[in-house]
Structure 1
Amino acid sequence: MNRIVMLLFLCHAAYAGKAVKHSLKIFFTGSSGLETLPEFEAVGEFDTILAVYCNKSTIRATQDWAKKVLDPGHEQFKFLEACCFVSMPAFFKFEIDEIKQHFNQSAGVSVFQRLAGCEWDEETEELTGFLKYGYDGEDLIKFEPQTKEWVLLNPQAAFIKQSWDNDPKDKEFNYDMITTYCHMWLDKSLDIGKSSLLRTDDPTVSLLQKTPSSPVRCHGTGFYPNTALMFWRKDGEEIHEHVKHGDVLPNQDETFQVHVDLDISSLTLNDWPSYDCVFQFSGAEDKIVIKLDKDVILTNFGKNKFQYLLSSTSFSFRLELLYHSNHFSSLTPDGSILQETLSQHPCCRTTTSPSASLLQDHRSTASIPAAGPLLHHQHPCCNKSQTRSAVIAVISVLLVIIVAASGFAAYKKKNERPYTPTSNTSLL
């Protein structure tokens, strides 16, 4: 088993990142009882960017620099091949069978996982290695490099700890793998892929707001690497009260995004100039600063009913909705639709048109823009007759103009340019 574990980590062909800290993480997963997934697969990440994938029959590098590191002619590729095709599948199958037997599990789905790797701080030159195992979504046991001992994370894994504690050579091997060798692979990957891994992409920073009373979100996207800071300041000093930080998340183009919200419910307009949002890469002096200003905040709040219909329905259906509807719609602060029938309002006692349900049916299925709720609309009940007459008149005139223009264009084209058969269109 010691040889299996040795080859298991030799396949940690590495990948790293940019800025102050670089990390290599390898995620291994073995399973049983899942027909739709491979029994074994692994992914290697460099600063959360996927660099390599493998299972029992496939090895695939997802980055150009990783393809160079994993050239089939290099010795490290042979280690990876033995690891993915032979050693690791056998190791994970053995451990799953052992755990299932200990837990009296004869059937069902079982998932055994391993996370291994290291993080390197360029400024402090501190290296932190990590190695941890889990089963069915719960942590089982981890290796502590400072003491070179296995630490129990789940009492049910005591039998695993007892077995692994009796193998001192394996402990030394694991220590070397998550320190010395992991660091070596990080350096190798940085050297080969430095044009990509050591780049810096600045973000686009914007202020977003759902409604005038909602928190103001400072949002940065498109930056690389992921070691970045974003925070709100008041009078040049970072603040934490009334501030909510979001996680750094990956984009599909291998860049990242992050946001931080500021609750402005207790602020007056005179307070706003004191606040600003700052984006800064870790360890860098340059900053991107954006002031809290209503003029720069992006929002879709304030769109009226006609704008909403224009953006969500076809032209002919929009005309039908506007012409026949006896309904009006507003969006409540939580984004839900509030529907009322004008004929049921106390100041409006008219007969509802049979076509009035068109708008209600459409509104119940229309998608609401994700950026936030729209502006409440002024209640049209008290001037219903004037408003509806004006709408009907305008729509009627538009229809006449459109139909007349279309007919005239078609007539002119037909009479001025008669059809003349050519050699390509005439019948033989």
Structure 2
Amino acid sequence: MQKVLLFTLILFGIDSIFAATHSLQYVYSGSSGIPNLPEFMTVGLVDGEPFTYYDSNIRREVPRQEWMAKAVYAAYWDQQTQISMNTEPVFKNNIEIAKMRFNQTGGIHTVQWMYGCEWDDEIGVTGAVHQYGYDESDFIALDFRTMTYVAPVMQAIPTKQKWDSNRAELENIKSYFTQECIDWLKKYVSYGKCTLERTVRPEVSLLQKDPSSPVTCHATGFFPKGIVVTWQKDGEDMHSDVEVGETLPNGDGTFQITSKLMVKPEDWKRNSYSCVVQHSQKDLPVLLEEKNIRTNQGGISWDIIIGWVSSALRFAKSI
């Protein structure tokens, strides 16, 4: 199965569990050689919720939330469509430049760009990100502390040198992320306040394919996105034999997460194990007991459905 990587949509790797923190993010993806996939796509997200979308097949910026469709006039979508259409050839060109630098010809290739800002109602601006990736690896990113670009691979050094030398544009970028981006974020949050500031508690299940498999704690259907899942043994948090997955979107605007416990049945039957899910500052513990585990024994299926989320910024440019 062909896989297209989208950046993890978390600013600075921190995902706040408090509703007072809001984020605005955009992900742009250009690709080549992938059948049945638009060559260019954009998605805008507020607090992890997709609210705008464009791709090179439909060639139109469209709302992904009812509150967004009601909040703005048609001219907004015309403007955003034009920006996305103008950005599309830049990404096609960037793929060709990257292929040349990596000495590649055909095959499947992707360029991703993710940018955004984060705001806390109490302390103000808390983060910003502006980074590019190529073929599922980091390519270049802006360090906002020094306002210089970081190039993790040698093929990105020419881009770093070119972008670092344009100080005027760097000042414009800094102004965008500290002012304009925050202003738009506040507007979007006000448009979707009822949706974005709602609280939906997770449904928590313990799943196991067979008696010898790890036990999976699955929390789903929750909003907002911030959540903490831990395993406890006899009331103490466990830091080993635990594998926590990423928080992923469902198709209905809610989220899901899984955490696996690698422990032998005879061990958890002798001791007290539990999965504790913390969401919106409330704990939801589920005791690891045979009666609480759903398995696929006897024809019971517990497939986990994983959803996929596929104002443009004026700083999209050739690498």
TM-score, normalisation: structure 1 = 0.58
Once residues 245 and 32 of structure 1 are traced to their aligned partners in structure 2, the CA distance between those partners, rounded to angstroms, is 32
Q: Are 2:177 and 1:175 equivalent residues in the alignment?
A: no
Change (3 A) 1:60 1:296: same
**Identical columns (%):** 36
Give the alignment partner of residue 295 of structure 1, picking from 291, 298, 303. 291
Matches within 5 A, 1:12-27: 19-27=19-27
Q: CA deviation at 1:206?
A: 2.2
Shift of 1:24: 2.1
- Offset at residue 169 of structure 1 (A): 1.0
Does the 8 Å contact 1:128/1:179 carry over to 2?
no
For residues 237 and 33 of structure 1, the distance between their equivalents in structure 2, rounded to whole angstroms, comes to 50
User: For residues 210 and 52 of structure 1, what CA distance do their matches in structure 2 show?
Assistant: 38
Q: Secondary structure at the match of 2:267?
A: coil
Cα 1:110–1:124 shift into 2, 3 Å = same
Note closer, same or farther for the CA distance 1:297–1:99 as it changes in structure 2 (3 Å cut): closer
Q: 1:71 aligns with which of 62, 65, 73?
A: 73
Shift in Å, 1:240:
1.8
What is residue 129 of structure 2 aligned with on the other side? 130
Distance 1:293 1:213 in 2: 15
2:42 partner SS: strand
Asked if 2 retains the 8 angstrom alpha-carbon contact of 1:20 and 1:227, the reply is no
* RMSD of aligned Cα (Å): 3.1
Q: Where is the helix percentage greater, Structure 1 or Structure 2?
A: 1
Report the count of equivalent residues. Answer: 284
Q: Which amino acid aligns with 2:291?
A: D
Instruction: Return 5+ residue gaps in structure 1 as ranges.
Output: 1-16, 309-368, 373-428
How many angstroms does 1:121 deviate by?
4.1
Taking the TM superposition and a 5 Å limit, the aligned residue runs for 1:20-419 are 20-31=20-31, 36-55=36-55, 57-74=59-76, 77=77, 79-86=79-86, 88-96=87-95, 98-99=97-98, 111-122=110-121, 124-265=123-264, 267=267, 269-272=269-272, 275-281=273-279, 284=281, 286-301=282-297, 303=298, 370-371=301-302
- Flag the 1:245–1:91 CA change in 2: closer, same or farther, 3 A: closer
SS where residue 44 of structure 1 aligns? strand
Task: After TM superposition, give the deviation of residue 298 of structure 1 in Å.
Answer: 2.6
Pair 241,53 (structure 1): closer, same or farther in 2 beyond 3 Å: same
Q: Distance in 2 between matches of 1:215 and 1:94?
A: 46
Paired amino acid for 1:41: M
Larger Rg: 1
- Bigger strand share: 2
Question: Contact conserved, 2:117 with 2:129, CA < 8 A, in 1?
Answer: yes
Which of the pair has the greater relative contact order for Cα pairs under 8 Å at 6+ separation? 2
User: Deviations 1:323-355 (Å, cap 9, x if unpaired)?
Assistant: xxxxxxxxxxxxxxxxxxxxxxxxxxxxxxxxx
Distance 2:301 2:237 in 1: 30
Structure 2, unpaired ranges of 5+ = 1-16, 304-319
Contact 1:52 1:59 in 2 (8 A): yes
* 1:160–1:280 CA distance, 2 compared to 1 (3 A): same
CA distance in 2 between counterparts of 1:298 and 1:109 reads 39
